[in-house]
Structure 1
């Protein structure tokens, strides 16, 4: 039995203004379009997540909502985790390890450099810096999310919005 994790970097967000906290930045119109394109791409690939977890930052949360709309996932079921905003890769791993055994496919939405580090840590692949709106799909030969750790995953694919144009 295997499980799949989709690691998603939030789509393009507005530049940080002097008066705005980094946490509160919103998606740009181009970011919304790119997120919808990526969500449609995953839908065509047959992706049906059982769980979605997102940072509380609007740019990540709204990326998750756009993906959810494209994938037919109930927006009210998106789990928000404030630790994903500034908690580093360990916060992402903790959220993943806490997923219930009934979850076979999960998506986690967050920020760089954490999502890129996470993808590299889990797969031991050279992921580089994930582009805005990019997705890394990682599979694990286990059915227990608590067993997910460094080098236990295999990179199924990595794709960004610009590759879909």
Structure 2
């Protein structure tokens, strides 16, 4: 039975100000709307992950919450992982490899360039730099989460908010 991973780059965030740490940047109103559009798109495809994991940075957490609300996932059950903020692609892979095997689909929300590198590593396909709010869906056949590694997945779809109609 295949397992599916949805890799999401956080939506558009405010520019970094001199007095603000990069970690604490918030989503802009455009970012909130883009995350909602992506969430509605995913809901329209009947995507309902068994787990949703996010970086602890507010822009990632809020992207995860907005998407969760749109797809009917309880935002209170989003798992936060502080290593996803600045831990590099290896932190994402470690989080994925530690997932329990009863989960058949998982969404992970984080930051570039890590999420783009991760998607390309897992699929060995040219994903490019994921745009803000973009999602890449990857399936893995005949494997469990602990076995997910380089070249083990296949891209099902890749979508960005700018590809969806404005509302």
Q: TM-score category by the smaller chain?
A: over 0.9
Q: Secondary structure at the match of 1:39?
A: helix
**For residue 139 of structure 1, what is the aligned residue in structure 2?**
139
- Scaled by the length of structure 2, the TM-score of the pair is 0.98
Please state how far the C-alpha of 1:126 moved relative to its aligned partner: 0.5
Runs of 4+ in 1 over 4 A off after TM superposition: none
- For 1:29 and 1:49, how far apart are their aligned partners in 2? 25
Contact 1:15 1:25 in 2 (8 A): yes
Structure 1 unmatched ranges of 5 or more: none
Say what the alpha-carbon RMSD is for the aligned residues: 0.6
**For residue 71 of structure 1, what is the aligned residue in structure 2?**
71
**For residue 37 of structure 1, what is the aligned residue in structure 2?**
37
- For 1:117 and 1:88, how far apart are their aligned partners in 2? 9
**For residue 7 of structure 1, what is the aligned residue in structure 2?**
7
Contact 1:89 1:117 in 2 (8 A): yes
- For 1:121 and 1:149, how far apart are their aligned partners in 2? 8
- For 2:76 and 2:105, how far apart are their aligned partners in 1? 17
- Scaled by the length of structure 1, the TM-score of the pair is 0.99
Contact 1:92 1:118 in 2 (8 A): yes
**For residue 85 of structure 2, what is the aligned residue in structure 1?**
85
**For residue 152 of structure 1, what is the aligned residue in structure 2?**
152
Written as runs of structure 1 = structure 2, the 5 A alignment for 1:98-117 is: 98-117=98-117
- For 1:22 and 1:87, how far apart are their aligned partners in 2? 14
Number of residue pairs matched by the alignment: 165
Please state how far the C-alpha of 1:76 moved relative to its aligned partner: 1.2
Q: Does 1:163 align with 2:163?
A: yes
